[in-house]
Chain A
Amino acid sequence: MQGISELIKILLIISVYIFIFIIFKYLYLDVKLMRNLRYDKYPYLKLLNRKSDISFKVEETYNIYKSMKIGRATHNDIVIKNDFIDKYHAEIKIEEEKYFVNTYANTSLMINGKVIKGERELKNNDILQIGTIKFVFIREIGE
């Protein structure tokens, strides 16, 4: 009887440690995931503004893994709730491994300081300005 309860106690302590280990593993995966977000294999838009200057919600990076729409409305893939941005402002398209930015009828945006209407190809390190928000487009070549 003595032996059994001793054994159960040891099993119990082991099970508590297994629990801690599992939780720890989850947290480890969490950290790993956080670190990998920015260095994904997809090209991405990186925010250039200081985040403290912005009073609305913008992510630091947006990975471009499909054609994506930018705008104020929640149906867009990249939602930026700023008054200087139209409900449906622009679209980033992927065609034959090339990236294009396309504005809608009455919107415009700036690439490297020039006002753009209609469609244009995006290259690595192009600076994309939508309203007051600036992004840099980064596409690592060779991947």
Chain B
Amino acid sequence: MASKGIRDRVAVVAMGCTTFGEHWDRSTDDLLVDAVTECLAGGALTPDEIDAYWLGTMTSGMSGLTLSRPLAIDHKPVTRVENFCATGSEAFRNACYAVASGAYDMAMAVGVEKLKDTGYSGLVRPPVASDGTSADLTLTAPAAFSLLDPAYCAKYGVDPAAMREAMTHVAWKNHVNGARNPRAQFRKAVPKEKIAGSPLVAGRLGIFDCSGVSDGAAAAVIVRAEDAHRYTDRPMYVKGLSLIAGPGSGPIDPGYDYTTFPEVVASAADAYAQAGITDPATQISLAEVHDCFTPTEIVLMEDLGFSPRGEAWKHVLDGAFDLDGRLPVNPDGGLKSFGHPVGASGLRMLFECWLQFRGEAGERQLDNPTLGLTHNLGGRPGACVSFVSVVGKELSAA
């Protein structure tokens, strides 16, 4: 990997995050105002101090005006970015690099999505004129990710019933965690029988195997690390940022087996190298990962190096990634129960690391976490973009 990284060169000094959910009473503009206002207030900052903005949204608006108009931002650089479901992470990454470059002293990354105004189930991609032959035109996201399930069972000889239990455990865990999160969309633990027996959406995925479709926004302010203590006594340091777009060849390449995301493996290796992480399974204190569908989270445990190949389903069932497990995954409830307003999700993951490092995670507070990982995925198995960040509570010793 050619990434040089910006380890410990920038820090997050303020964050904001709306509740996620079906906000029939709030517009995209409202969500942006809410998240940005909370973020600025938390850092006792004024809009004048922000030098540049990166706004992530997949479908809720185009151009920097989507942010500058509702916030009445006064002639500042505002860039709108889009990278599928990794859009929020992409906004954050660009803002971090802008500050690290020295071009700006203070940048804000904002992510927003207003999904519930469409009236559709699940995510909908804006139409692009085409020849009508792509499977993606009609194949839904749950169907695309459900392709992992039979392939994984076949490759590793996993009894489909055991795999179903592992998928159920992922949803169950993330609902248990989300129940402890006042900002989550679904704040109720769900019995395993109900998860396993929920109406089928695609393949063996039932409704409870799918992330929440929601509205929400989140924001972060980034400054140079050496300036961080001017704004907060508990900044969050950026250790590594990796965004990888794969060649998208999985659906045409017989060499791809639908049991892994090569883009995730590559972005994790890149981020770990930047952050100096050699054994993620023991060094990472908490991970916020892209649990869009339950089999995704199982495969991610292997791609991120938390479990050996073919073993994650067992570790999931053993509770390794539960809130009290060896490596808590999605302590805030994840996409599954916190909800998935696309452009906001990457920043929402960082928000949980922010709260956990500051000791502000309430009922789900972990015992002195020091290194957090966020993983954000966009696209489909075999053709996706993957983002991995490593963030830390403290500057590294070396």
A binds B: no
Using CB atoms and an 8 Å cutoff, list the residues of chain B in contact with chain A. none
Using CB atoms and an 8 Å cutoff, list the residues of chain A in contact with chain B. none
